[in-house]
């Protein structure tokens, strides 16, 4: 009922990073696509088979270095229900390799509908002969615009099944300030959302001091990372925007506490497309991804001696 | 590139309502479930087959009375990828009967990821041999917490493919005020979000005066409905919360403009579960749903003589 399971893996592996699995077909090497199309046709089924094969290769190459993966739902949904099946298979495969799986779906709704999302991604669904897991992720990103009614149903499942949620607080995009930086009295909206995360999580604080309610805080705003880290002592951070979106390791370091914990930093394209960026043969895409996650771990942990000691 | 297609259907049918298709297994009559389990087993596949059969029966019973349906993604996702396939089949079937399909997914993200969601639900996806529609809905609900970066990718597809989005402005739940009613200067957050809808939609205003960017404004807050109708003249409203959540027809009427247009009112459970609420035989579930949509149309349009004249 907190992020202890993930934190334990981060400590064991001395690596507070997560790899985003956002597999557009453009990122997938030709040899994987050709095989998938030959076996499953060139429609959604073939595309989904290619994504899954690509993901499995990435997971095989990184699971002993990186504690977690973060599949982004949109990139599977765009390939239809066949893509959503590839999402299910990807989650299964990552879990079979011992990885912690954060589903990035930014889901939000109220009451029974939020219960349905929470059952889908974190809990289980009542069927004729008992309950079954639809996707079975370990954590889910959610959007808190609807207030407590949109969070509580997910939190109930987190408590019962040792899962976690990450609430969007301060996102990494250029226009995030249009709403999030506006002031409500003397606080910004993102600070207000951060305070709500502390309140929502209050009863779920685990052995490392963090609750089951984390926050998404973008790496592109280092000052805000530092400020939020100080103000939200029980809220674990998921930090997007490292690398591709311009957030550097020194800035990202501000998301961590004095023990070198409290945050996990995401990288997606830089890992998935490492073979393209380093001009390596596409057959070496998995090895290139492994080199990149090792480079990323070193880049970030150079600022976290407490975690490495 | 606006809601003209939907508005035309509303005028033709003299009915500004939409039926929510949120089919929990509990709502589905036993005879449908037994048949589905016998043919597809009692796991996710059988459950999904039951949902689809239930939805088809509802659509057959209402398509000549109601202009639109609104499937809620959560209730399909909780039944795994098999449930998501039933969502796809439901959208297809509703469109084959001429209905306008609003997918209620409250999706939100930025840049390429929001493009992926928009391709998934409103546009089409690039595959090996050209583009294909993954879900092909007519409109999608979205959450605007991330600002313009989260809306623009969807809006581009709306413009190109004559689709629409509904942005969450003021939701129908009790805790919606925790964030949405807070003041930024002299405006509430929901008013600020409403103003953004007017701006985002400005270049897409259609022949009835409404843009491709609509707003979700809950029926449970009639004063705010009236206030928002007056302040957002080009923003079409999707109004949840009628019936089950306590919003009455007189309050809901405040969402409409002087021509009786500008809003579409949703009802989900009262229609899907009409047979349970009226103690009719479960085999009459579709007939009970039809009676309820006719009752609902009369209840709401009694306040809209302009639309009926």
CB atoms within 10 A of CB B93: 18
Q: Is any Cβ of chain A less than 8 angstroms from the Cβ of B27? A: no
CB atoms within 10 A of CB B65: 17
Query: Kind of pairing, strands A187-188 and A183-184?
Result: antiparallel
A1 in Cβ contact with A206 (< 8 Å): yes
Q: Distance, in angstroms, between A190 CA and closest chain B CA?
A: 10
Which two structure tokens, joined as six digits, stand for A53? 């094969």
| Closest to A80 measured CA to CA, from A138, A126, A25, A124 | A25
φ/ψ region of B123 (left if φ > 0, alpha if ψ in -120 to 50, else beta) reads beta
Distance CA A136, CA A18 (A): 18
| Closest to A146 measured CA to CA, from A110, A183, A189, A116 | A110
Nearest to B179 among A43, A75, A145 (CB): A145
pLDDT of residue A59: 98
8-state DSSP, B29: -
What residues in chain A have per-residue pLDDT under 70? 1, 244-246
Q: Is A239 helix (H, G, I), strand (E, B) or coil?
A: strand
The tens digit of pLDDT for each residue in B161-192 reads 999 999 999 998 889 999 999 999 999 999 99
ipTM (interface pTM): 0.97
Nearest to A175 among B83, B84, B147 (CB): B147
Distance CA B290, CA B157 (A): 34
Residue in B14, B35, B56, B106 annotated catalytic: B106
Q: Residues of A with catalytic annotation?
A: 106
Partner-chain contact B150 A175, CB within 8 Å? yes
Q: Where does the pLDDT of residue B222 fall: very low under 50, low under 70, confident under 90, or very high at 90 and above?
A: confident
Q: Distance, in angstroms, between A75 CA and closest chain B CA?
A: 6
The tens digit of pLDDT for each residue in B248-260 reads 899 999 999 999 9
**Average pLDDT, stretch B56-61?**
98
Q: Is A131 helix (H, G, I), strand (E, B) or coil?
A: strand
Find chain B residues with C-beta within 8 A of A81's C-beta.
81, 84-85, 87-88
Q: By CA distance, what is A34's nearest residue in B? A: B128
Query: Which residue out of B33, B134, B244 would a mutagenesis test of the A interface target, given it has the greatest number of A Cβ atoms within 10 Å?
Result: B134
Partner-chain contact B176 A81, CB within 8 Å? no
Helix H or strand E encompassing A270: helix A269-272
Angle at A104 between CA A83 and CA B155, to 5 degrees: 75
Window 245-304 of A: residues touching B by CB (8 A cutoff) are: none
pLDDT of residue A99: 98
pLDDT of residue A9: 97
Q: What share of chain B is helix, strand, coil (3-state, %, to 5)?
A: 50, 15, 30
Q: By CA distance, what is B126's nearest residue in A? A: A25
Q: By CA distance, what is A88's nearest residue in B? A: B81
Residues in chain B: 309
| Closest to A17 measured CA to CA, from A277, A255, A229, A287 | A255
Find chain B residues with C-beta within 8 A of A143's C-beta.
106, 108, 143, 145
The CA-to-CA distance between both ends of chain B, in Å, stands at: 28
- In the numeric block, the tokens 């969502």 are attached to B87
- Cα B208 to Cα A202, B20, B24, B204, B262: the distances in Å are 49, 25, 36, 11, 9
pLDDT of residue B1: 60
**Average pLDDT, stretch B272-282?**
97
- Cα A33 to Cα A170, A260, B113, B231: the distances in Å are 37, 40, 21, 51
Q: Distance, in angstroms, between A175 CA and closest chain B CA?
A: 5
Across all residues in chain B, what is the average pLDDT?
A: 96
Task: Using CA atoms of B104, B54, A116, A161 in order, give the dihedral in degrees to the nearest 10.
Answer: -160
Find chain A residues with C-beta within 8 A of B181's C-beta.
none
Query: Kind of pairing, strands A130-132 and A125-127?
Result: antiparallel
The tens digit of pLDDT for each residue in B115-158 reads 999 999 999 999 999 999 999 999 999 999 999 999 999 999 99
């Amino acid at each position: 009922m907190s992020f202890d399971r993930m934190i334990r893996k981060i400590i064991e592996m001395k690596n507070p990073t997560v790899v985003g699995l956002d597999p557009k077909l453009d990122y997938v090497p030709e040899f994987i696509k050709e095989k998938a199309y030959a076996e499953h046709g060139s429609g959604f089924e073939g595309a989904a088979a290619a994504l899954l094969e690509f993901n499995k290769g990435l997971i095989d190459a990184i699971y002993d270095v990186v504690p977690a993966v973060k599949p982004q739902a949109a990139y599977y949904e765009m390939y239809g229900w066949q893509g959503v099946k590839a999402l299910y298979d990807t989650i299964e495969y990552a879990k079979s390799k011992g990885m912690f799986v954060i589903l990035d779906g930014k889901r939000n709704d109220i009451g029974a509908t939020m219960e349905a999302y929470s059952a889908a991604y974190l809990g289980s669904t009542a069927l004729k002969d008992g309950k079954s897991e639809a996707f079975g992720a370990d954590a889910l990103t959610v959007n808190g615009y609807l207030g407590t009614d949109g969070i509580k149903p997910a939190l109930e499942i987190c408590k019962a099944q040792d899962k976690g949620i990450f609430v969007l607080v301060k996102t990494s995009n250029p226009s995030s300030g249009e709403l999030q930086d506006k002031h409500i009295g003397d606080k910004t909206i993102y600070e207000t959302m951060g305070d709500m995360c502390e309140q929502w999580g209050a009863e779920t604080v685990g052995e490392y001091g963090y609750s089951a309610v984390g926050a998404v805080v973008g790496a592109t705003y280092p000052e805000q990372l530092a400020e939020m880290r100080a103000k939200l002592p029980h809220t674990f951070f998921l930090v997007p925007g490292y690398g591709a979106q311009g957030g550097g390791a020194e800035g990202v370091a501000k998301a961590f506490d004095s023990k070198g914990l409290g945050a996990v930093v995401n990288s997606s394209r830089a890992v998935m497309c490492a073979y393209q960026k380093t001009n390596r043969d596409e057959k070496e895409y998995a090895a290139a991804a492994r080199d990149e996650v090792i480079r990323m771990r070193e880049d970030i942990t150079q600022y976290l001696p407490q975690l490495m000691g």
